[in-house]
Amino acid sequence: MSITALVPFKLNSERVPNKNFRALNGKPLYWWVIESLISSKCIDRIVINTDARRLIENLGVPAGLDVVIKDRKSELCGDHVSMNSIIRDDLNDFEATTYLMTHTTNPFIQPSTFSRALAQYQIGVERNEIDSVFSVNKLQTRLYTSDLMPLNHDPSQLIRTQDLAPIYEENSCFYIFSKKSFSSNQTRIGALPAVTITPSIESIDIDTEEDWSLAQLIACGFDNR
């Protein structure tokens, strides 16, 4: 099984300017997830689809694996381009049995989490039970709809939160799929998906300046390996 990791990221970020290239505990943010992919020992190649080749070449990439910098096509640049379009473009250029798509904005994902999810995917595919895997947060809290209707509980029955039926939140840490699955569904989550619950710290996603501040505090004492 050949595995290619897709790590798309762009030069500009709307909410956190320059976040992909900011130093987090002494190294650019994008280094963190690439180092975890390399350390997982499961990945054969990493493809960075980007409009920031010159900056990446100046800052470098972690050593230890084939890392390909692919120049993003002009029609795929911008803040409102669907990630599915970028993935589709990568799948047309790079053949693999399995693709793992992840983001630079989840710096604390551990190598063992990637390995565990890939093993889950491989076993499920071999048994014809699944066609994709994606990461989630497990929620066991009292949730409400926008019109304040209870979503997963009965307010008159105050059972313990740990006894509530879990609800899963897609956290965008990673997606695992094949070209066949993506082509059939035109999306990274297939028709027969399975989920991997990621630990809370590993699930932190940097979308705001507050997220960045929290990541800085964690990174100071966090052993990413």
Number of domains the chain contains: 1
Whether residue 19 has pLDDT greater than 80: yes
In a domain, 37, yes or no: yes
Q: Is 186 helix (H, G, I), strand (E, B) or coil?
A: coil
Task: Judge contact between 22 and 63, C-beta under 8 A.
Answer: no
CB atoms within 10 A of CB 24: 22
Question: What is the distance of C-alpha 135 from the center of its chain?
Answer: 8
Residue 180 falls within a domain, yes or no?
yes
Cα–Cα distance between 76 and 79 in angstroms, integer?
9
Q: Model confidence over 94-149: pLDDT tens digits?
A: 999 999 999 999 999 999 999 999 999 999 999 999 999 999 999 999 999 999 99
Q: Say if residue 58's pLDDT is above 70.
A: yes
Pairwise CA distance, residues 225 & 165, whole Å: 33
Q: What is the CATH number of the domain that holds 202?
A: 3.90.550.10
What pLDDT, on the 0 to 100 scale, is given for residue 221?
Answer: 75
pTM above 0.75, yes or no: yes
Beta bridge partners of 106: none
Q: How far apart are CA 157 and CA 159, in angstroms?
A: 6
pLDDT band at 225 (very low <50, low <70, confident <90, very high): very low
Give the angle 167-174-214 at the CA atoms, nearest 5°. 80
Residue 166 lies in a domain: yes
Q: How far apart are the first and last CA of the chain?
A: 24
Domain assignment present for residue 225? The answer is no
8 A C-beta contact, residue 192 and residue 130: yes
Tokens of 39: 């350390």
- Look at residue 63 and tell me if it is in a domain: yes
In a domain, 189, yes or no: yes
Does residue 24 lie in a domain region?
yes
Sheet with 98-102, edge to edge strand ranges:
66-71, 45-50, 3-6, 98-102, 167-177, 132-139, 193-197
| Helix, strand or coil, per DSSP, at residue 98 | strand
**Residue span of the structural domain in which 189 resides:** 3-220
Query: Whose CA is closest to 40, among 131, 89, 102?
Result: 102
Does residue 194 sit within a domain? yes
φ and ψ of 167, to 5 deg: -120, 140
